[in-house]
């Protein structure tokens, strides 16, 4: 009986550890994530090995073309603000190692998609944006 009990306890402990470790896999990406989704969000933009300088330039240009006021917040972040229907909306655009992500809290999806498309277009124009 003691042998069966020790096997059950060991099995439960192993199962608990395996479940806890697998639930956090992928969360270290630092992306804007959907609730319960441990993957990059659908709006993340892959930038590869482009320099921060070229990425920031593309983000600023794209934002200004869409009526956003872009402000440097940190070395790897820009805050974008825009007035829509007499309300000011804002987003923080983070430049990660290989991705650009936007905080989309209370941001209309249409505005986020337009900004994302404009950033992609600006990045395409800068074909020599690799790290130097």
What is the SS3 assignment for 49-65?
CECHHHHHHHHHHHHHH
Confidence at residue 12, expressed as pLDDT on a 0 to 100 scale: 53
Please report, for the domain that includes residue 92, its CATH number: 3.30.310.80
- The tally of domains found in the chain comes to 1
Any domain includes 83: yes
Any domain includes 132: no
Any domain includes 58: yes
Any domain includes 130: no
Any domain includes 30: yes
Any domain includes 131: no
Residue 83, domain extent? 2-125
Average pLDDT of the chain is: 74
Q: Pick the range with the lowest mean pLDDT from 16-20, 65-69, 90-94.
A: 16-20
Confidence at residue 79, expressed as pLDDT on a 0 to 100 scale: 93
Residues 68 and 114: their CA atoms lie apart, in Å, by 11
Pairing mode, strands 69-74 and 99-102: unpaired
Any domain includes 18: yes
Residue 19 has pLDDT above 90, yes or no: no
Q: What is the pTM of this model?
A: 0.64
Any domain includes 23: yes
Which of the four pLDDT bands, split at 50, 70 and 90, describes residue 132? very low
């Amino acid at each position: 009986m003691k042998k069966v009990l020790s096997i059950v306890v060991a099995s439960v402990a192993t199962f608990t550890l395996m479940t806890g470790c697998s639930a956090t896999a992928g969360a270290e990406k630092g992306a804007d994530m959907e609730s319960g989704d441990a993957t990059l969000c659908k709006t993340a933009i892959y930038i590869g090995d482009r320099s921060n300088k070229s990425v920031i330039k593309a983000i600023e240009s794209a934002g200004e073309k869409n009526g956003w006021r872009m402000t440097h917040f940190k070395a790897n972040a820009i805050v974008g603000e825009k007035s829509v229907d007499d309300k000011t909306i804002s987003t923080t655009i983070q430049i990660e190692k290989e991705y650009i992500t936007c905080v989309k809290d209370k941001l209309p999806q249409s505005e986020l998609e337009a900004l994302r498309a404009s950033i992609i277009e600006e990045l395409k124009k800068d074909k020599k944006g690799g790290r130097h």
